[in-house]
Structure 1
Amino acid sequence: MIPVEQLCSELIRFDTTNRGRGDSEGEREAAEYVAAHLAAAGLEPTLLELKPRRTNVIARVSGSEPGLEPLLVHAHLDVVPAEPADWAVHPFSGEVRDGYVWGRGAVDMKDMVAMLLHVLADWHAQGRGPRRDVVLAFVADEEDNGDYGAHWLVAEHPELFADCGAAISESGGYTYHVGGVHLYPVGTAERGTSHVRLTARGRAGHGSRRNEDNAVTKLAGAVQRIAEHRWPIRLTPAVRAFLERSGAALGVEVDLSDVDGTVARLGKAGPLVESTVRNSTTPTVLRAGYKTNVIPSTAEAEIDVRVLPGTEEELFAELRRLAGPGVEVAAISPQGPVQAPIDSPWFEAMAAALRSQDPQAVVVPYCLGGGTDAKAFDKLGILGYGFAPLWLPEGFDYRGMAHGVDERVPVEGLHFGARVLDHLLTNC
């Protein structure tokens, strides 16, 4: 059987760069590679495309208890761009050295794809399988808007997933070393991605003349007010549970009337929650004018807006107030926040799978600051959990690996993750 690190290395060698806005190398070759391994494991994969080369692979593993709700496991095949000159190794070499597999996608998220293929091959070799049906979706375009991947599949092929009760995918189940404690955060919620465009309108004119209806001035004021606004604390169930359970495990005082202080006392665990105790609005794009001596009639800005579950109405009302008169606020491809139950058999099964390989595991829920394809499958009522398990050595900057330079994943971590996935998929 092919070692999991070799599978990961070979997947990284497929350049599936997604530059956004439809500009992509495409996932076709990686999808065909995955499909070949699925077929070798006795499955019948289906390849689906909205656009040539933007390929998705779907397969289903039959369980021994067909009355149980199926579990969806989804992983994306595309990756963000990488500049080879910045890396110690070529980002698409898949080089294995110093106990790591190096390359773009090593943790985001071709590692998960490799672990799944390894588990399926092991099942096939040993004549084993899961209790419940497992639906597998290896998708395109997660690193942009999912228009060729999960969101398209949900819109055009919902029957493939209609009976699934829950789903697992990236951003959770990895080791986080804090003061000798092995924390394993499992994603049970995600902030929504509700980016907005501000459009200021005014009177065009000559730059040398007084103009009190200047669109650029209006926009600049709006952007500054939004950037400087301190959004209030809003504790969602996932964030509250993270604070309480992590604090108990670490022996840290948890004072929910002083959340910022509690986050600070969590030390190295603080970064896991600091971005999700409140909403965020970060200016990222400005557009105005075409000539220095001409005052334009319009000016635009784009704001990266991340919104917690249950706070959308409050946030947009405040955004419109901060923008002020003469500045329109419009959503750009909004994808709402999602959350799944913490105290559920699904979560308990993931915790048990982690403890089967690390008896010291302290499994805690958390809310993702960004987003994943869970937002697409949520439209079908499928509960989404962030669970792509890895063992990570102390000091390993996992959160800095995704989209970063010299992205890599520990070989030992891949073997651990494959065993955890095997346990979960076999027993849940």
Structure 2
Amino acid sequence: MKSVAEICSDLIRFDTTNPGSGERPAAEYVATLLADAGLEPEVFESAPRRTTVVVRMAGDSPDALLVHGHLDVVPADPAEWRMHPFSGEIEDGCVYGRGAVDMKGSCAMTLATVLGMRARGERPKRDLVLAFLADEEATGDYGSRHAVSAHRELFDGVSEAISESGGFSVASEGHRVYPIAVGERGTAWMKLTAHGVAGHGSRPAVDNPVATLVHALSRVASYEWPVRLTPSVAALLQELSEITGAPIDLDRLDAEAARLGALGSLFKGQIRNSANSTMLEAGYKVNVVPSTASAHVDGRYLPGLQEEFLATVDELLGPKVTREFVNLEEAPDAPYPSAFFDELAGALVAEDAHARPVPYVMAGGTDAKSFARIGIKGYGFAPLMLRPDLDYFGMFHGKDERVPVEGLEFGTRVLTRLFT
């Protein structure tokens, strides 16, 4: 049987860049591993080569747990990497390559865990539904959204789910903290458009849409979003205060995040909404004032704050700029405290006696948003014990992405405890 590091390397070698040629080769590899273990995977496509794999492993209870991960990755420029991003090389105890952290390493842990259980004849304590999805790095239209709409029956009986961006260790001043995600910020990707009057670039502008749009974007960029403490983030701050033995000043959270270093990274992007300009487009000739100008903004808002977020954006843009959604997703959250959170925490502590599990809210988004549409409560839990010097957050979409082999092996042990 392949080791978890070997499976991770194999998955990385499939170039599943999104946008690109699709996830099919990686999905076929996953389906073959599952079929060889005696399972019966469902393989389906939402479009040519946009391939997803779902399989159910029967357990002692039909109340099922969903474990989902995505097979696509963001682009990588080989010229910026120490080694080729799709080589899957193992060096210095790490598996290198695009997707090592986000999230082929996690998919490899899930596969290694289930294949190991099958080889040992172990049965999970409840049904496991495993989903290896396309298109998470875009909108999920070709992956999770398609799965929950066109193949809803595959998720019958699922009450909770686990996936990426949680369960990893954060070491700081002798503490080993494991954030378990109980929610994530909502997504509001917007296209902004300013309309004006076209004219010659040498004449005084009557109504220049480029200037209108730039002024609006400047207002958005300079706006200081107010702190909004959701219950889960407040609980995290309380836990970190107890772990470090020093109270966190709620009136100075930006300074406190800087003071706490790696631990501060768990909340500095989760205490307020945000809106970042990412794309601009206007004009076609230097001496022509265009009639329109457009931009794209990546907006994120905390659970329960969509209405406040959009009202603020509209006020900042002003009446001459219109917005339309490229993608709008709710901010899902899961019960905390809860018995299932305690199960996740217990599996970590059983493998690391120094583990301090804490609740956490993700700054970005995952496929959990799609599964929340059909009532599945999602938790971020892809367990990894990491070296203190490894910048985990910097690995996401960064160059020289890598994951420690020991971390993958630790995660496999934790998942085995959770499933059995």
**TM-score tier after normalising by the smaller chain length:** over 0.9
Structure 1 residue 336 corresponds to structure 2 residue 330: yes
Measured in 2, the distance between the counterparts of 1:277 and 1:356 equals: 31
Q: Gaps spanning 5+ residues in structure 1: where?
A: none
Q: Does 1:40 align with 2:36?
A: yes
Question: Residue 316 in 1 paired to residue 310 in 2?
Answer: yes
What's the CA shift for 1:65? Answer: 2.5
The letter of the residue matching 2:89 is: E
1-side partners of 2:229 and 2:182: how far apart?
A: 14
Query: Which of the numbers 348, 352, 371 marks the counterpart of 1:354?
Result: 348
Deviation at 1:258, TM superposition (A): 3.5
CA shift, 1:254, in A, is 2.2
Which residue of structure 2 aligns with residue 13 of structure 1?
Answer: 13
Do the aligned residues in 1 keep the contact of 2:64 with 2:126 (CA within 8 Å)?
yes
* Residues 252 and 266 in structure 1, CA contact (< 8 A), matched pair in contact too: no
Contact 1:154 1:380 in 2 (8 A): yes
Instruction: For 1:127 and 1:280, locate their aligned partners in 2 and report how far apart those are by CA, in whole Å.
Output: 48
2:125 pairs, out of 121, 131, 143, with 131
Mapped to 2, the partners of 1:154 and 1:207 lie a distance apart of 51
Cα drift, residue 86 of structure 1:
1.6
User: Is the CA contact 1:252–1:265 (under 8 Å) kept in the aligned structure 2?
Assistant: no
* 1:410 pairs with 2:413: no
Which runs of no fewer than 5 residues in structure 2 stay unpaired?
Answer: none
Is 2:157 aligned against 1:163? yes
Task: Report deviation, 1:174.
Answer: 0.7
1:53 equivalent in alignment to 2:49: yes
1:347-373 deviations in Å (ceiling 9; x for gaps): 111100000110110001111111110
Residues in 2 aligned to 1:137 and 1:268: alpha-carbon distance in whole angstroms: 31
Amino acid at match of 1:411: V
Give the Cα–Cα distance (whole angstroms) in 2 for the partners of residues 157 and 43 of structure 1: 18
What is the CA-CA distance between 1:402 and the residue it aligns to?
1.8
Q: Is the 8 A contact 1:191 1:307 kept in 2?
A: yes
Counterpart of 1:399 in structure 2 is 393
Q: Which amino acid aligns with 2:359?
A: P
Matches within 5 A, 1:167-206: 167-206=161-200
Contact 2:253 2:268 in 1 (8 A): no
How far apart, CA to CA, are the structure 1 residues paired with 2:137 and 2:280?
22
Displacement, 1:268? 2.4
CA deviations on 1:39-96 (whole Å, 9 max, x unpaired) are 1222100101011211100100111123xx2100001111111111221111111111
Residue 96 of structure 2 is aligned with which of 97, 102, 113? 102
Identity of aligned residues (%): 53
- CA distance in structure 2 between the aligned counterparts of 1:339 and 1:77, rounded to whole angstroms: 24
Bigger mean CA deviation after superposition, 368-377 or 247-256? 247-256
Deviation at 1:247, TM superposition (A): 1.7
SS at match of 2:329: coil
Q: Give the 3-state SS of the residue equivalent to 2:328 in structure 1.
A: coil
Equivalent AA in structure 2 for residue 12 of structure 1: I
Range with greater deviation from structure 2 (231-240 or 352-361): 231-240
Q: Matched residues in 1 for 2:334 and 2:152: separation?
A: 20
Matched, 1:80 2:74: yes
Matched, 1:210 2:204: yes
8 Å contact from structure 1 (residues 198, 302) kept in 2: yes
| Counterpart AA for 2:6 | Q
Cα offsets for 1:250-274 (capped at 9, x unmatched): 1121233443343334332111210
AA of the residue aligned to 1:8: C
Residues in 2 aligned to 1:102 and 1:383: alpha-carbon distance in whole angstroms: 32
Give the whole-Å Cα distance in 2 for the aligned partners of 1:2 and 1:268. 34
Quote the Cα distance in structure 2 between the aligned partners of 1:301 and 1:98: 43
Give the drift of 1:322.
0.9
Task: State the Cα distance separating 1:108 from its structure 2 match.
Answer: 1.0
Structure 1 runs (4+) greater than 6 angstroms displaced: none
Report the AA paired with residue 15 of structure 1: D
Structure 1 partner of 2:137: 143
Quote the residue 2:83 is aligned against: 89
Deviation at 1:135, TM superposition (A): 0.5
Alpha-carbon shift at residue 297 of structure 1 (Å): 1.3
Q: What's the TM-score once normalised by structure 2's chain length?
A: 0.97
Is the 2:303–2:331 Cα contact (8 Å) retained in structure 1? yes
Moved more, 385-394 or 201-210: 201-210
Instruction: Give the Cα–Cα distance (whole angstroms) in 2 for the partners of residues 203 and 15 of structure 1.
Output: 46
- Of 247-256 and 189-198, deviating more is 247-256
SS of equivalent to 1:317: helix
Q: Distance in 2 between matches of 1:259 and 1:342?
A: 22
Aligned to 1:264: 258
Deviations 1:82-117 (A, max 9, x none): 111221111111111211111111111111111111
1:164-214 alpha-carbon deviations (Å, 9 max, x no partner):
111000011011001100000111111111011221111111222222422
Partner amino acid, structure 2, of 1:279 = N
